Homo-oligomer: A and B are copies of this chain.
Amino acid sequence: MLQGHQTWVYESKPVIIGTAAIGGPFESQGGLAADFDMFHDDLWLGENSFEKAEKKLLEEACETAIKKAGLKKEDVQFFLSGDLINQIIASSFAARTLGIPYLGLYGACSSSMEGLALASLIVDSKFAVNALAATSSHNAAAEKQYRYPTEYGAQKPPTAQWTVTGAGAAVVSQQGEGPKVTSATIGRVVDMGLSDPFNMGAAMAPAAVDTIEAHFRDLNIDASQYDLIATGDLGRIGHRIAGDLLKKHGIDIPEEKFTDCGILMYRSDQPVFAGASGCACAATATYGHFINRMKRGELKKILIVATGALLSPMSYQQKESIPCIAHAVSIEM
């Protein structure tokens, strides 16, 4: 362990033995739809609030991942989860339903990989046989809280992104069949002074670059180690900026290897501005699409760099810029 070293290498290589991706009506029309486990055609999921609908998405993702792992919830020792709703109530209320000892996290849209990194640490330390990492977001709940209720029909600039309605979950285990978690790089907060909440991809891009750089430096590797490196939810604008920044820093990631969950999530004819965002973006893309591609043998080693914009409506109103972060987790088949 060197000073300045921010990457954890899991000696035991915890196994992802079950995953789930649940989506809403809009996601069922998206580019990654084939890899979701389930869709809802009702944005309310039969609940009387969007927040309760999000909690239900999260619970379903957890239950599905546990079931696909061949386990019962009693077999899972710890539940790590976070979401975008104030006081992460989707996660905490889902934790009440599950009854599993619970660690609440908040890393905005980086929460998926923060959870997977910590769950893998707990399993690697032999403090759990099985740990569950999950996260969720809901388009209408997020719009209501961060901007305007969707019913207002407020207009958006082309740099805006579309919050994914969905939830993703993964069961990490000491043993079993599946892709293995090999390392995680915990990000620093990077803030380049951008303050436009309608252009979060641009704000988050430097954080993604900082974490990718740290990951390569700590492990003394380069992009050739990976078949695919995916940022979380930079969208089209942020992803291009990240690519440019990497080049400037002398880091070469071939274009065909470098992608973004926020670009992949929706089809080009869906009106999502610069792409997708939300905690569920990287979570469903990873636990649905990428894990499936690994299982089909199309990908062997991937690095997921989940990005988070750590602002709040109040920090924006108080004229603060947007602190951003990215956590990276490497997964190997």
State the A residues within 8 Å of B (CB).
1, 3-6, 8, 49, 51-52, 74-75, 77-78, 82, 84-89, 92-93, 95-96, 99-108, 114, 118, 121-122, 124-129, 186-189, 191, 310-315, 318, 320, 323, 325
Task: Check B103 against A323 for contact (C-beta < 8 Å).
Answer: no
Counting chain B CB atoms within 10 Å of each CB, which of A82, A108, A188 scores highest? A188
Picked from B51, B87, B122, B127, the residue with its CB within 8 Å of the CB of A86 is: B87
| A103: chain B residues within 8 A (beta carbon) | 105, 107, 114, 118, 186
Number of copies of this chain in the oligomer? 2
In the assembled complex, the CB of A62 is this many whole angstroms from the nearest CB of chain B, namely 13
Task: Provide the bound-state CA to CA distance between A4 and B128, in Å.
Answer: 9
Task: Provide the bound-state CA to CA distance between A191 and B108, in Å.
Answer: 26
With A52-B318, A118-B103, A318-B52 as given contacts, are A3 and B75 in contact (CB-CB < 8 Å)? yes
Task: Check A3 against B77 for contact (C-beta < 8 Å).
Answer: yes
Task: Check A106 against B105 for contact (C-beta < 8 Å).
Answer: yes
Picked from B49, B77, B92, the residue with its CB within 8 Å of the CB of A310 is: B92
| A118: chain B residues within 8 A (beta carbon) | 103, 118
Task: Provide the bound-state CA to CA distance between A201 and B35, in Å.
Answer: 45
| A114: chain B residues within 8 A (beta carbon) | 103-104
Task: Provide the bound-state CA to CA distance between A127 and B51, in Å.
Answer: 36
Task: Provide the bound-state CA to CA distance between A92 and B104, in Å.
Answer: 15
| A75: chain B residues within 8 A (beta carbon) | 3
Picked from B82, B85, B87, B101, the residue with its CB within 8 Å of the CB of A186 is: B101
Task: Check B310 against A74 for contact (C-beta < 8 Å).
Answer: no
In the assembled complex, the CB of A139 is this many whole angstroms from the nearest CB of chain B, namely 17
Task: Check A5 against B77 for contact (C-beta < 8 Å).
Answer: yes
Task: Provide the bound-state CA to CA distance between A311 and B186, in Å.
Answer: 28
Task: Check B1 against A188 for contact (C-beta < 8 Å).
Answer: no
Task: Check B96 against A189 for contact (C-beta < 8 Å).
Answer: yes
Task: Check A104 against B101 for contact (C-beta < 8 Å).
Answer: no
A-B contact pairs, 8 of them (CB 8 A): A3-B75, A5-B77, A85-B312, A89-B312, A93-B315, A93-B320, A95-B188, A100-B188
Task: Check B87 against A106 for contact (C-beta < 8 Å).
Answer: yes
With A187-B101, A188-B100 as given contacts, are A3 and B129 in contact (CB-CB < 8 Å)? yes
Task: Check B89 against A314 for contact (C-beta < 8 Å).
Answer: yes
Task: Provide the bound-state CA to CA distance between A189 and B94, in Å.
Answer: 9
